[in-house]
Structure 1
Amino acid sequence: MSSPNRRVAQLRELLRRYNREYHELDAPSVPDAEYDRLFHELEELEAANPGLKTLDSPTQRVGGRPLTAFEPVRHAVPMLSIRTETDFGPGGAANFDARVRRELGLPSHLSVEYAAELKFDGLAISLRYESGVLVRAATRGDGETGEDVTHNIRTIDQIPLCLAGQAPAVLEVRGEVYMRRDAFDALNARQRELGEKTFVNPRNAAAGAVRQLDFKIAAKRPLSFFAYGLGEVVDWDIPLTHSGMLDALAAFGLPVCPDREVTRGAAGLIDFHDSIAAKRDKLPFDIDGVVYKVNDRALQTQLGFVSREPRWAVAHKYPAQEMLTTVEAINVQVGRTGTITPVARLAPVFVGGVTVTNATLHNIDRIRQLDVRVGDTVIVRRAGDVIPEVVDVVMDRRPLREESVDLLETRQVPQYEPFEMPTSCPVCGSHVVREEGEAAYRCTGGLVCTAQRKQALLHFASRRAMDIEGLGDKLVDQLVDVGLVRTPADIYRLGILKLAELDRMAAKSASNLLAGIDKSRNTTLARFIFALGIRNVGETTAKDLARHFGKLDGLIEAASREDESAALSVLQSVPDIGPVVAHSIRDFLREPHNVEVIEQLRANGVSWPEFEPSEVVPAGPLLGKTLVITGTLPTLSRDEAKALIEAAGGKAAGSVSKKTDYLVAGEAAGSKLDKAQELGVPILDEAALLALLAKQPE
């Protein structure tokens, strides 16, 4: 066999397989762009070698065979596909307009009127109405014969069971069943809750729903429909234009997409293509291009068909949002908050209008679900500004190696082992942990990790933490970028000469910053604990820890116990600290890098009053009481009110619950007041709060 013969045979086998996966199984293993590429290669080979063209070639047929589980439906008017324009740019529209004008023999000064529409990414359906009543719905199938899916189509609320107005004797409406993105996300969320397999994309979910034998399954999936064409019509004067026909279908009560336009010439088509491209990612459903149709139906008849496609219509696609490539490596990235995200390093691939070399794998659960490995051929998706992601693996392209079973037998196994998350941070070497109930892994080196450095420093200097006036975003960026500050301890080593060299930092500004830094050396234990940025430890928890332990060394000693259960037990003895927070505190304070920075801070003069635990509990009138503040108080700021409550032994909480003893309500109190009244929580105004604070403790 010659090379063209072999390649044609290979392509036909692949395309038949992909056709069956897409049209019959609703489980495509390759993206549309890969199918299109192979299809066009086969078309070119057959055009160059006419003797190789056969009637059973995929280029001469449409779609796949109907499933035997459904009753076959012979289409009175075949459901043919339309030609795809492979030029993604303006040339695609210009090429189509030039072909139409050439076929019609139009002079240069006359332009053609076109109906421009969206190319939906769903499942083609034919609806047959007789005397206005829906009697049958069928899939495209192979274009000549489809499958009867009436029982499922009836579950789609958008599709009328009876047409409005004076309906024709027979009206076959062609259109697309699809799933909105928000409906798709909600469906996958339910699938995850039930522990069932999620869907790769809305098209697969919609197609799978339409082709269920049990209509109850289809009814649970939120499907939608747009009409865009006609099949058989009896006893109806069809409007003279395609756009007029769509308006008439809408008048019958059928849903027609509003994103359509009547325009003229190549320039009009290009404008439509560009305007839809600009808002493609904001549409509530997926499209992969636009469709141009000669608007005048008489001209459509004059143009006719070639092979399997009408000459009067074309699909002008956008750059594919899904493409095939291979995984060359799997690494991890450390985010600003310490989250560790696995990333696939890819063979460069053009997808979504850009060349992509990296794609997120989200987390280890997603990797295991897909079973992504180095060497795999994967489907990469990029839509708009969304970070590229790996959405599926083409398993039959996985590289294999032989493994000996015994002296006489070998077996094929994957060439590469499954990926495992690192146990130490690739940036700073600190321990990596995964909190219970979380998908993500995190680096525990919050004070020393380069990836977290700027975030950690900004939090450390913030008003509710160390309150270093003048140390904001832009200055932190400069200090880190020039290498002056690596950890919070370096802040207290800064000198005026180095600071004065920074952009927009004169001697006076540097002097003011140093004064703010020096002032922050005298703080409280609660502020210092909060400033460390321990995950899940907010202001209230930091105060609880300070009140309970009295000394930082006592907290560090408790968290660092070798016996994990004993350490967690001690930490959870602090009021309102549960297992998640206790684990976070232990993970942070057992990391030697973090403890070293704490010691450096102390050595540079950062200090606070320390007490024995028995001395820490204030004996005030609000001892053991929980209060919530809402609205605007007449004279006290919220921070001032919280400070008074805590000084009197009370706790200032953020939300109302059954454990709330009082709600302090000011002007414009909102939902917290409603919740307190519902639960019967006593309501105080500012005067009542001050009176309560003035009482002597019992």
Structure 2
Amino acid sequence: MSPAQRIAQLREEIRFHDRKYYVEARPVISDREYDRLMQELIDLERQHPELVAPDSPTQRVGGEVQTELKSVRHAVPMLSIDNTYNEGEIRAFDERVRKLLGGEQPAYVLEPKIDGTSINLRYEDGRLVLAATRGRGDVGDDVTVNARTIRAIPLVLKAEGVSVEPPPIVEIRGEVYMNNEDFQRVNREIEAAGEEPYANPRNLTSGTLRRLDPKIVARRRLRFLAHGLGQVEPLPVESYWEWTRLVREWGIPLPQEISRAEHIDDVLARIHEFEQLRPQLPYMTDGMVVKVDSFAQRERLGATSKSPRWVVAYKYETEQQPTVLKEVRWQVGKGGNLTPVGVLEPVFIGGVTVTNVTLHNIDQIERLDLHLGDTVIIERAGEVIPYVVQAVPEKRPHGARPIKAPTRCPACQSKVEREADTPYIRCVNPACPAQLKERLRWFCHRGQMDIEGMGDVLIDQLVERGLLREFADLYRLEPEQIASLTSEVEQRGKLVTRTVGEKVARKVIDNIAASRSRPLERLLAGLGIRHVGNRVAHLLATHFGSLDALAAATPEE
């Protein structure tokens, strides 16, 4: 098979797996296997640059840093949606619609209201040519370079084996968002770099999508689900329900929970059903969007100056619950930052039991005037991140002590320092075992040196036995040092002791050896040097080219 044939085969295989994962939600290979296919394609295209195509999956990994985001005008304005919080207003919406339609009974389509950033994707002759944020509604920011890094957004619409081929001009509208797990992962990375974490996935998504460096966007794993259309010429169907079926064929992902209802009673029933389902979803939602199905009826209904008359969003109330703050534990990060974590009396909220809550930093503790034993109000924002809204002073126990900043590291008992003009408290002992464990976890993480098998428990044991004192010790490990380690796991209600074993130990050692081939930028990012995150590591690796050149560089360079 020639390089050109293998490249074509890999591109088609990767697109197939993208559709399986994002459109059908039925992946057939692991993330690691997918990454191997992508890496093979990247390597082949690097060896044969004349075969690189703008719609190749490799073009998602991010290109050069942009200098600015340009403004673009939408062909069809992206209007806002009216919100409501009660059933009565949903029924009133239905009555208005039927009145404007002269008594006709419309059918409705319901979709989850995903809490992300709205985007318009423009395809010409089946190829993605423009991606723009909503912006002011008539004008948005051109984020095409960043949108191309999002695997859920097809660079080319599928035209073979479909009931109707994509028209020459197709605009798909939807929501760019971040899964809850990815939000927590990226926030940990941001905190580890000494920056303030984001309050919710929506803010992080919005900030990421507008970054000037597409490589950062690619690493944060944004996702996309469609929820509408802009300019489509010619429009091949008569209803939105038909449209959703058609765009799935073209490779556009939509929410699995989309449904059609013939009557307003059915609409309300679906809204209540979805309220129970929300906590189980992997992404943030704050309501259900109700749309008239027929495009002809939408045209007759029209719009006000700011929103269409054929759509309304039902938003769920945010859930809050009181509980008691029992104690505060200070966790040590890889850079020495101490983060306060509140230990709570277990409280059931948003479908889960919450026992711990981040308190972010000492400034937040002081702003809330928190004392041990306080009754506090917990809110679970976006079904994922519980946080303290406020304390209830009138329920404070007599003699309750205010929470103070620690003076010594809880892990190594070294004195801590507070950075000037910041809320950050740091352990400055480079030999702190808690820092070492976190640095090693970061170093071995998939986004850095990608050492599979080096999990939290194994790292803890190796550090506690004195086998790992620095990064270089990883590459001195022998299989027998790992094989004899044991851990306790729960099995059928009983604790069972398991030994790592020679086979697993050998595989871990092989994975450590394989990490030697990682590029320089991943090594630099993995070292956890303060203020050297992924972007700075990329710039340093690109400029200096080797570790020796970087070590010999002057501060001015």
TM-score tier (shorter):
0.5 to 0.7
Q: What displacement does 1:206 show?
A: 1.0
Which of 156, 159, 164 matches 2:153? Answer: 159
Q: Is 2:290 aligned against 1:292?
A: yes
Q: What displacement does 1:209 show?
A: 1.1
Superposed CA offset, 1:542-580 (max 9, x none)? xxxxxxxxxxxxxxxxxxxxxxxxxxxxxxxxxx99899
Please name the residue that 1:250 is paired with: 248
Please name the residue that 2:239 is paired with: 241
Instruction: Tell whether the 8 Å contact from 1:281 to 1:383 is kept in structure 2 after alignment.
Output: no
Which of 116, 130, 152 matches 2:124? Answer: 130
Superposed CA offset, 1:218-263 (max 9, x none)? 11211000111111122x2331111111111111111111211011
Q: What displacement does 1:102 show?
A: 2.4
Instruction: Tell whether the 8 Å contact from 2:107 to 2:262 is kept in structure 1 after alignment.
Output: yes
Please name the residue that 1:100 is paired with: 97
Q: Is 2:225 aligned against 1:226?
A: yes
Instruction: Tell whether the 8 Å contact from 2:298 to 2:310 is kept in structure 1 after alignment.
Output: yes
Please name the residue that 1:333 is paired with: 326
Q: Any idea what SS the aligned residue of 2:361 has?
A: helix
Instruction: Tell whether the 8 Å contact from 1:152 to 1:218 is kept in structure 2 after alignment.
Output: yes
Q: What displacement does 1:96 show?
A: 2.1
Please name the residue that 2:502 is paired with: 674
| Equivalent-residue separation in structure 2 for 1:659 and 1:313 (angstroms) | 61
Change beyond 3 A, Cα 1:266–1:222: same
| Equivalent-residue separation in structure 1 for 2:300 and 2:504 (angstroms) | 75
| Equivalent-residue separation in structure 2 for 1:216 and 1:256 (angstroms) | 25
Please name the residue that 2:404 is paired with: 421
| Equivalent-residue separation in structure 2 for 1:577 and 1:259 (angstroms) | 46
Superposed CA offset, 1:130-168 (max 9, x none)? 111111111111111111111111111111111111321
Please name the residue that 1:436 is paired with: 411
Instruction: Tell whether the 8 Å contact from 2:326 to 2:342 is kept in structure 1 after alignment.
Output: yes
Instruction: Give, as a single letter, the amino acid of the residue that structure 1 aligns with 2:93.
Output: F
Please name the residue that 2:143 is paired with: 149
Instruction: Give, as a single letter, the amino acid of the residue that structure 2 aligns with 1:238.
Output: P
Instruction: Tell whether the 8 Å contact from 2:278 to 2:383 is kept in structure 1 after alignment.
Output: no
| Equivalent-residue separation in structure 2 for 1:676 and 1:158 (angstroms) | 34
Please name the residue that 1:180 is paired with: 179
Q: Describe how 1:329-478 pairs up with structure 2 within 5 A.
A: 332-334=325-327, 342=342, 362=358, 366-368=360-362, 370=364, 372-374=366-368, 381-382=379-380, 388-390=386-388, 420-421=403-404, 435-436=410-411
Change beyond 3 A, Cα 1:95–1:130: same
Instruction: Tell whether the 8 Å contact from 1:139 to 1:146 is kept in structure 2 after alignment.
Output: yes
Q: Is 2:194 aligned against 1:195?
A: yes
Change beyond 3 A, Cα 1:174–1:385: closer
| Equivalent-residue separation in structure 2 for 1:315 and 1:226 (angstroms) | 17
Instruction: Tell whether the 8 Å contact from 1:331 to 1:342 is kept in structure 2 after alignment.
Output: no
Which of 269, 289, 294 matches 2:267? Answer: 269
Please name the residue that 2:109 is paired with: 115
Q: Any idea what SS the aligned residue of 1:309 has?
A: coil
| Equivalent-residue separation in structure 2 for 1:139 and 1:93 (angstroms) | 28
Instruction: Tell whether the 8 Å contact from 1:332 to 1:343 is kept in structure 2 after alignment.
Output: yes
Instruction: Tell whether the 8 Å contact from 2:177 to 2:201 is kept in structure 1 after alignment.
Output: yes
Instruction: Tell whether the 8 Å contact from 1:332 to 1:341 is kept in structure 2 after alignment.
Output: no
Q: What displacement does 1:284 show?
A: 0.6
Superposed CA offset, 1:307-348 (max 9, x none)? 31111110000003589xxx9xx985259xxxx97589xxxx
Instruction: Tell whether the 8 Å contact from 1:360 to 1:389 is kept in structure 2 after alignment.
Output: no
Instruction: Give, as a single letter, the amino acid of the residue that structure 2 aligns with 1:91.
Output: G
Change beyond 3 A, Cα 1:155–1:321: farther
Please name the residue that 1:215 is paired with: 214
Q: Any idea what SS the aligned residue of 1:200 has?
A: coil
Q: Describe how 1:601-680 pairs up with structure 2 within 5 A.
A: 657=481, 671-674=499-502
Q: What displacement does 1:434 show?
A: 7.0
| Equivalent-residue separation in structure 2 for 1:658 and 1:79 (angstroms) | 57
Instruction: Tell whether the 8 Å contact from 1:97 to 1:265 is kept in structure 2 after alignment.
Output: no
Q: What displacement does 1:371 show?
A: 5.6
| Equivalent-residue separation in structure 2 for 1:202 and 1:341 (angstroms) | 20
Please name the residue that 1:318 is paired with: 316
Instruction: Give, as a single letter, the amino acid of the residue that structure 2 aligns with 1:674.
Output: E
Paired residues in the alignment total 338
Change beyond 3 A, Cα 1:321–1:290: same
Change beyond 3 A, Cα 1:434–1:122: same
Change beyond 3 A, Cα 1:373–1:245: same
| Equivalent-residue separation in structure 1 for 2:191 and 2:199 (angstroms) | 13
| Equivalent-residue separation in structure 2 for 1:132 and 1:86 (angstroms) | 39
TM-score relative to the length of structure 1? 0.42
Unpaired runs of 5+ residues, structure 2, are 1-65, 160-164, 329-339, 371-375, 392-400, 414-461, 467-479, 487-495, 508-557
| Equivalent-residue separation in structure 2 for 1:167 and 1:284 (angstroms) | 30
Instruction: Give, as a single letter, the amino acid of the residue that structure 1 aligns with 2:279.
Output: D
Change beyond 3 A, Cα 1:156–1:391: farther
Q: Describe how 1:491-506 pairs up with structure 2 within 5 A.
A: none
Which structure carries more relative contact order (alpha carbon 8 Å, separation 6+)? Answer: 2
Change beyond 3 A, Cα 1:133–1:669: same
Q: What displacement does 1:189 show?
A: 2.5
Change beyond 3 A, Cα 1:437–1:184: farther
TM-score relative to the length of structure 2? 0.52
| Equivalent-residue separation in structure 2 for 1:312 and 1:577 (angstroms) | 61
The percentage of counterpart residues that share the same residue type is 35
Structure index of larger Rg: 1
Q: Any idea what SS the aligned residue of 1:233 has?
A: strand
Change beyond 3 A, Cα 1:673–1:82: closer
